Amino acid sequence: MTTLSELAIGRTGIVENIDLPNEIQHHLMHMGFVPEARVVVVRRAPAGDPTVFGIDGFEIALRRDTARYIRVRELNEK
């Protein structure tokens, strides 16, 4: 198990759980970050942070200090 902030660009993770204050957590879940959702690391902003994640065909940018509270299991697919 790892966190979303540690996945490299192009890798996919399956969301396990989110450990953020309730309000933020709910907001993220309604945006698609629910357990068992597939998240792809799409690209990083020019400054290296925030990172753009692909989920359900949407692109959502999160800062590293938010992404590190989203636990994922990395998919070992090529």
Footprint of another protein on this chain (CB under 8 A)?
Answer: 20, 23-24, 26-32, 34-35, 37, 43, 45-50, 52, 55-63, 65-66
Residue closer to another protein (CB basis): 24 or 73:
24
First to last CA, the chain: 18
Q: In this structure, what token pair is assigned to residue 4?
A: 């979303």
Residue closer to another protein (CB basis): 48 or 77:
48
- Give least dist CB 63 to another protein, A: 5
* Bridge pairing between strands 58-62 and 51-55: antiparallel
